[in-house]
Chains A and B, each alone.
Chain A
């Protein structure tokens, strides 16, 4: 409940996400009376903590493609669609 108030989604939706996180080993669940206490499992999270690396790889690949595109456009005579030999 305390966790759920931080998200713009329903309580069952948060529970669902927490269940998936628990199944994935990312959080640990402990029951205390009617409450469920969740604790973050730091190790698997740390593995992906630098989630920007996903986008970093994406752009690095794309920028190489952009360079290739510019090189190909330069090598290609204007008005033809044929790839240079």
Chain B
């Protein structure tokens, strides 16, 4: 099973502009989620999305590395700790502008998968769907 996510994007803008967009509270609110981020090592902050059934909508984070204007790393914990992961942004100047590398790592195996089933946002829907399918299957039996 895959454990890591990795995205690479090139933006036709200078390094410092892209850096601001991943470190400014207002910018982050615009493209990621409302937050109380501060680019200070050791600082805890939260991203807050709309709560969904089974999920409070809160992602709890802590700045683990901040090296302007190139590297930003923070912990990313949600769903009562079932998702206990790391997010890292790495910026690099390229001829076309700025390359952003986004890595979301630390997803564990089946244990957190099972717990996520029960408390994660998307999984609730799947479970409900499954329950209905199971009920319908049972109802169809003589």
Contact = CB atoms under 8 A, between A and B. Distances in A.
A63 B9 contact: yes
Nearest to A69: B31
Contacts of B21: 66, 69-70, 73
B45 interface: no
A2 interface: no
Given A51-B113, A51-B116, A63-B102, A69 B30 contact: yes
Contacts of B113: 49, 51
Interface in A49-70: 49-52, 54-56, 59-60, 62-63, 65-70
Contact of B118 (A20, A44, A56, A73): A20
A83 B69 CA distance: 27
A24 B134 contact: yes
A1 to B, nearest CB: 17
A6 B111 contact: yes
A24 B27 contact: no
Interface residues of A, number: 31
A17 interface: yes
B11 A47 contact: no
B78 to A, nearest CB: 10
Nearest to B116: A51
A49 B28 CA distance: 30
Contacts of B18: 70
Nearest to A56: B5
B5 A26 contact: no
B116 A59 contact: no
Interface in B1-46: 1-3, 5, 7, 9, 11, 13, 17-18, 21-22, 27, 30-32
Interface of B: 1-3, 5, 7, 9, 11, 13, 17-18, 21-22, 27, 30-32, 100, 102, 104, 107, 111, 113-118, 120, 122-123, 126-127, 130-131, 133-134
